[in-house]
Every structure is written in structure tokens, then in C-alpha cells.
Chain A
């Protein structure tokens, strides 16, 4: 009979455990919209008599669709363009301007403006962080003779600052990397 008593206690405890467990079966789970996601990079290049907009937009983040890259037109030869970068999260409405966060944490960020593939142009920084190291939300693009190639914009988070201007030396993590095919005419 002693065993019977134990068996009873055992089954009561089991019931207790089972009934106490919470089960929120019916509740619809909450959607997660990635807070830190950057969907869009806008590069506006302005010079006298010329305006070119470069955009890379990836609304599905790490989903299967690649970023949509648009270049509004060609650049003029031998011209100095003022470049301004804008970083957005367009999954939210209205779109969240992440450029502000970059400016706020300027010591932890740096943009790189890399010219490649035969493009005859040079870039230089137009703004600096609180320590006097380059930031690069604003930059200058000096075009040379007619040519074509790539302009790559990279945003690094927590890079080594100061660095020699190369990605290898900067390290850190890539927040944005966009390649634009550019023609200078």
C-alpha cells in the first residue's frame, strides 16, 4: 500500500507540473522588423550644372533579392563634385535616417569612397569626427578625363582610427558596401 501512496504523490506532482506550464498557443507571435537594418544608401553628387544621384536599395535585407542599384546619369570630366551620403532604413514608415546615428557616433564610423576599374577620379574627405579623423558623410569627388569604372562606398563600424585610408588597415565591420558603375564624359 505504501507503493500506492507514492504512486499517488507521483501522479499529483506530474499533474501539477503540467497544469502550471503556460501555453500561449493562441497568441499570434509578434513580427520582428530588424532595428539596425540599413536598406538604402543615397549618394548625391553635385557640381555646377550637374547633379547625379547614386542609389543602392535592398528592401529585403539578407533575403534573396540583390540590392537595386541605380545611377541617374554620367559625370562631367574635370569637375569637382560635392558628395553627400544618406543612409536610410526604409522598412519603417516614415523611413529612419541612420545618417544621424552615424554622425552621433562619428568616432565609431568611417565611410570609404574607393575609385576602381579605370575610373579617372580621386576622392577626399569633407568632414571629420571629434578626434579630427576622417568620417566621410561629406566628401569631394574630382573627376579627370573621360573614363569609366566603379565607385565603391563602404561604411565601416568600429574601424581602427586613424588608418591609412585602406579597408585592410581600417578593419572593423562592414555596415554598407555598394558598388556603382560610373561613366565620366
Chain B
């Protein structure tokens, strides 16, 4: 099987042609003043639905480009980009990424009217980002392996020996950090460190890369119990159908340190040159129309602005009795991270 000379030449020519073509035809379409770039760490479905509605709604025809990635990678990217970032808006699942950017003075102030549409406890205390939706942390458990009356009342109980080889953990997820922060706030650093060491040992064979996998593994019975943001369970059930669902969610006792409300939010970059359009987008997110989309959307999050309430089969936000943890206490999560590192869970 000889490689004919002409074929070789042709191959090289085709290679170069494809390469040039790929380089030439995929330039960025950069609109004039009416395009908005959103760095999105929130679930893609939610953001897509919101963006589509916003583009239709906005009179000045704002074109939104969405860049999807893990919110931490996006925050890192913005930090590395510095003042030259092409991003106008960052939209995340959790507040610590936003707090980090705010602390580095990379966010601009959000319009007061936008902030006012949301209860102040869900916004940045400094006003540099606005809360858009909320989730609650709950227990997920396999219903074949555990009865509701066997469930622990407090997150602290999960450190007990009875959960050895039964507990599942996705401590790498951004959702886990706020729980650690909350335990530090309630019980102090030493108790938290002990708790982390104990749950690490209980979960030794059931540590998962993300909440989706954790929920799935509990549902399959590979693990018995875990802590997640409840919406992962609802979303999982919607994907796999009620018939193959062998798990359920349950809350901790009222006010327990593991029972917390996480806030998803959005901010405008200080370096943005489309601030007016960006403010318009944020106002839309927390306005009645944006909040209705979240209320009916398939992401199973709680709307928190403009008095809109959830249309999904969730315990209403008003009936939840979470730990009294503030956004400021959640902060940028650095204490939680250093404890996770010490416990060698990070």
C-alpha cells in the first residue's frame, strides 16, 4: 500500500485549505452597541428561556450572547481578563462567585429599582449584584433503603457511625460550600472540622464529582443518603420519570445548620461598555416576566422577585424554615474552602 505522491500533495493541500477555512469563517460577530455578552454559570435551560424572552421584550433589540461554563471557571476568567473582559453580565447559581468578584471591585452597582424588586436579604449587602432565584438544601435518600422516620434531624447527625458507607458526598460542588459556612456559623470552626473528618470517612466510597451524579447514585441505591439542593432531585425525576424514581427529598429540622437557602444572582461588570443594556437585562430577570419564567421553568428553582411564587411541586418558599444565615455570612466562602482543604476534602 503505497502512498502515491499526488495523493500526499493533495492531502496536504486539503489540510491547509480546511484550516484556513476554519480560521476565516468563524470570526466573532460583534454587534455595535446593542449586543450583550452574558457569562452564564446558571443552568443553560433557565438562561436560554430568560434570554429569549428578554430579546423579544426589549424594545431596543438587544442581542444576547451567552457563554456557558462552570461559574468558578467564569469568575476566574473574569479575574484573569481584568478590565478588558468582553463580558457584560455574570449570572451564577451561587452567591460566593459574585461576592468574590465584588470584593475584587470587578462589579458595578445594580440599579436601585432592580434591587428593590427582590427582598433585600437575597441581594448583595453592597448592592453590586441582585438575587434572581433561590434553592433549598435538603436530604435526598433512597426510599427502598430508608424509611422517612429513620432520617436524621440535623446535618450534624450525618457524622454518626450509623451512616458509615451509606452517606454520599459531592463536596467539590459550589452548593456544598455554603453548608460548611453555615455549620461554622452555628457550631464554630473546631466542630466543623470534626464534622468534615467524620463525614469524609462515612462517605469514603461514595464521593461524587457533582450533585447530578450523587442524586442518581442515591436513586440507584449505590448510596443511601446525601445532601443536595432539592432541585437536583426534581430535575432528575423529570428526566427519568416517576416510575424509575426510588428516592425522595426531605428537609432537616427547622433552623438546622444544614437547612439553608442558596441564592442565584447576577451582576454587571465594572468594565462593561454596555451598562444600560445590562441594567435592562437585570431588571428583566427580577421583573414579573423573568420571575414567571423561573416559576414555571423546568429548573425547579424558587422565584424571589416581584412577588411571583412557584408553580412547581415544591414546598413554598414562604413555608421553609431555614437557618438564619445571611448573604454576608455566606461571603466568598473562603473559610469553608480552607476547612475543606484541611480536612483533605478539597
Same complex origin of A and B = no
Residues of B within 8 A of A (CB): none
Residues of A within 8 A of B (CB): none
